[in-house]
Amino acid sequence: VKCLSLILPFSDSLSDRFYATLYRKLLDHAPSTAQHQLLDLLWKTLKTDQVVTRVRAFVKRLLQIATSESAGFSAGILILVSRLIEAKPQLIVRERDAQSEIERSEGSGGMDMEDDEEERYVDLDDDGIPLERRIKGEKKEKDEEEEGEGLESEDEVSILI
């Protein structure tokens, strides 16, 4: 926290690396003596940040942390969030503004609104073809050669997967 506090005054435009480090630091359980410094650093950093989506991500993480920390630190987080909302009213998206916000983020190539969902993985065969496509009938010459060696039909392939 002290190192990040020392970097802040000397940097005119903070890099993504600084914000990523600060974001990761939120997950570390800071001792009670460093909590005040952390909240002060967050206030100075987030009130000057021009990227609204990043500030929203910090606010979301802070509110998650507030549910599991001590009462004093949680109160400090809530005060920080309320002051951030006063300083940056665009942090709150009202229902009538939500659709335009979604369209703007999709059109500008912004963050995907489904970032909170789990990632989906697809198994690939040796040739880089997704196995689900291969099972549905896209057999390669290689597969036809292997039929004589072990597996007799596509049904057996789907059972193995």
Please check the confidence at residue 158 and state whether its pLDDT lies above 60: no
Q: Are residues 6 and 65 in the same domain?
A: yes
Q: Are residues 21 and 68 in the same domain?
A: yes
Q: Are residues 88 and 142 in the same domain?
A: no
Please check the confidence at residue 70 and state whether its pLDDT lies above 50: yes
Mean pLDDT throughout 103-122? Answer: 59
Give the span between the Cα atoms of 110 and 106, in whole angstroms: 6
Contact 4, 25 (CB under 8 A): yes
106 in a domain, yes or no? no
pLDDT one-digit tens code per residue, 18-68: 788 888 888 887 777 788 888 888 898 888 888 888 899 899 999 999 998
Cα 73–29–5 angle (5° rounding)?
A: 80
Mean pLDDT throughout 148-154? Answer: 51
Residue 84 CB burial class (10 angstroms; 0-12, 13-18, ≥19) = buried
Q: Are residues 88 and 137 in the same domain?
A: no
Q: Are residues 84 and 153 in the same domain?
A: no
Q: Are residues 85 and 148 in the same domain?
A: no
Q: Are residues 139 and 87 in the same domain?
A: no
Single residue among 93, 123, 149 that ends a domain in this structure: 93
Strand partners, 124: 130
Query: For residue 149, what pLDDT band results from cuts at 50, 70 and 90?
Result: low
Say which residue, 101 or 10, is predicted with more confidence: 101
Total tally of structural domains belonging to the chain: 2
Find the domain containing 150 and state its range.
Answer: 131-160
Mean pLDDT throughout 108-128? Answer: 62
Please check the confidence at residue 146 and state whether its pLDDT lies above 70: no
Say which residue, 19 or 115, is predicted with more confidence: 19
Q: Given this model, what pLDDT does residue 81 score?
A: 93
CA atoms lying within 13 Å on the CB side of residue 84: 30
Single residue among 65, 93, 121 that ends a domain in this structure: 93
Give the span between the Cα atoms of 23 and 43, in whole angstroms: 13
For the chain, give the longest Cα–Cα distance. 71
Please check the confidence at residue 102 and state whether its pLDDT lies above 90: no
**Residues in CB range of 85: below 8 A, 6 or more apart:** 91, 92
- The residue type found at 31 is P
Alpha helices in the chain (DSSP H): 2-7, 16-25, 32-48, 52-66, 71-87, 95-107, 131-135, 141-147, 154-160
What does the DSSP 8-state code read for residue 119?
A: P
Q: Are residues 12 and 64 in the same domain?
A: yes
Please check the confidence at residue 135 and state whether its pLDDT lies above 50: no
